[in-house]
Amino acid sequence: MSVDIYFAANPDLWPDYATPLRDALREAGVEAELLETPPRDPAAVDYIIYSPDGVIEDFSPYTGCKAVLNLWAGVEKIVNNPTLTQPLCRMVDYGLTEGMVEYVTGHVLRYHLGLDALLAAQNGTWNQEPPPLARDRKVAVLGLGALGRACADALARLNFNVTGWSRTPRDQSQITCHAGECGLVQTLTEAEILVLLLPHTPLTESLLNAERLAQLPRGAVVINPGRGALIDDEALIAALDSGHVAHATLDVFRTEPLPAAHPFWAHPRVTVTPHIAAETRPASAARVIAQNILRGETGLPFLHQVDPGQGY
């Protein structure tokens, strides 16, 4: 039996995804028709491949749809859509995870080794002061979902002293885990390098505000490849101006692309990267989508299904 799959993501992505999707579905043993244009009969669509910059705002005509499969890890732009009654699955795949781990470990090592200062001091001065060992550097990861756990584990394997925080208690080998408000305070007060990998929900909006930035040790650095709305921009700029926060590397922003006039661009203590930490890659994402469709067709629960109540 064949299934109808509507590619309702950004149309510009279709050339990149068409072949990987067909190959992945064939390898999974799923007979399917891929639709790149709006279907004549929305009720006949079995699955929707979606991205927040795609072509669907009203999901109500898709009454036969068994699941909406998001191409992005973040679902904050769709999860509260009142017309969405179908199961929603976020993207969790090895390509996205590996990209995030590489980005986070690269920038943690950059700060740990003091590479920015070394590059700025190429003036003939021979300063032979070594950095501490990784075991003596305290790194905190806020958010212990799939990406946060992977990054925390990778840093721990490099012998960093890693603490993780989540809203609800987690137990993860190799790292110290905290939860709740008291746990957040404890995590922040010890963090020399802070990594933000939380989802954007009403509870995490501006989580890193002036009060919480003040809880960081003076001279701490911030790495945010999670969600732009996790940070109060004005509070971060004030903390950078005062020197309380030594530097921030930011990959995600409230408005993207980051406007040319935004003060982050010109701030001497900010590194801007253009949302490259964990881009979805067609080949690996297609396999995740095909696997979820196979599960749906064989009666198994979907992978990475979103809980609307929690927002992720």
Q: Parse the chain into domains and list their residue ranges.
A: 3-92+280-297, 94-272
Long-range contacts of 63-71 (CB under 8 A, 24+ apart): 66/296, 67/292, 67/293, 67/296, 67/302, 67/305, 69/289, 69/292, 69/293, 71/9, 71/13, 71/280, 71/285
So what's the pLDDT on residue 278? 87
Residue 275: active-site member? yes
Joined together, the tokens standing for residue 128 give 């032979």
So what's the pLDDT on residue 157? 97
CATH number of 94-272: 3.40.50.720
Would the pTM count as exceeding 0.95?
no
Nearest to 197 by CA among 303, 113, 49, 312: 312
So what's the pLDDT on residue 245? 98
CATH number of 3-92+280-297: 3.40.50.720
So what's the pLDDT on residue 231? 98
Residue 227: active-site member? yes
List 22, 269, 275, 281, catalytic entry: 275
Partners of 270 in the β-ladder:
248
Which residues in the chain land under pLDDT 50?
A: none
List 227, 247, 287, 304, catalytic entry: 227
> How many alpha carbons lie under 13 Å from residue 74 in its C-beta half-sphere?
19
Check if 3-92+280-297 and 94-272 are the same fold.
yes
